[in-house]
Amino acid sequence: MILDASAGVEAQTLTVWRQAERNSVPRIAFINKMDKFNSNFQKSIESMEKKLSVSVINVQVRILTFVG
C-alpha cells in the first residue's frame, strides 16, 4: 500500500485495507511524496494507527547515490 505523506490514510485506502484483511493478505505500507511542501511522516504514521487500527513499525532504508 502506498500512502501520500501529505494526505495520510484516505477513503480508498480504508477500502483496500479491509479487503486485504478479509482475505488474509499480508500488507506493507510505503509513505510516498515526502518531498511535498505539506508532507508529514509522523502524521501519516498516526493516521495509519488511528484509522487502520494497527501498530506501525517504522523501517527506513537509506538510499545512497554516488557521483563519480
Q: Is the pLDDT assigned to residue 12 strictly greater than 80?
A: yes
Helices and strands: H and E segment counts in the chain: 2, 2
Question: Which one is predicted more confidently, 46 or 61?
Answer: 46
pLDDT for 6 = 86
pLDDT tens, position by position, 24-48: 999 888 888 888 888 888 898 999 9
Across the chain, mean pLDDT equals 87
Q: Give which of 37, 26, 19 is closest to 7, Cα–Cα.
A: 37
The whole-number average pLDDT for the span 49-54 is 92
Confidence of residue 18 (pLDDT cuts 50, 70, 90): very high
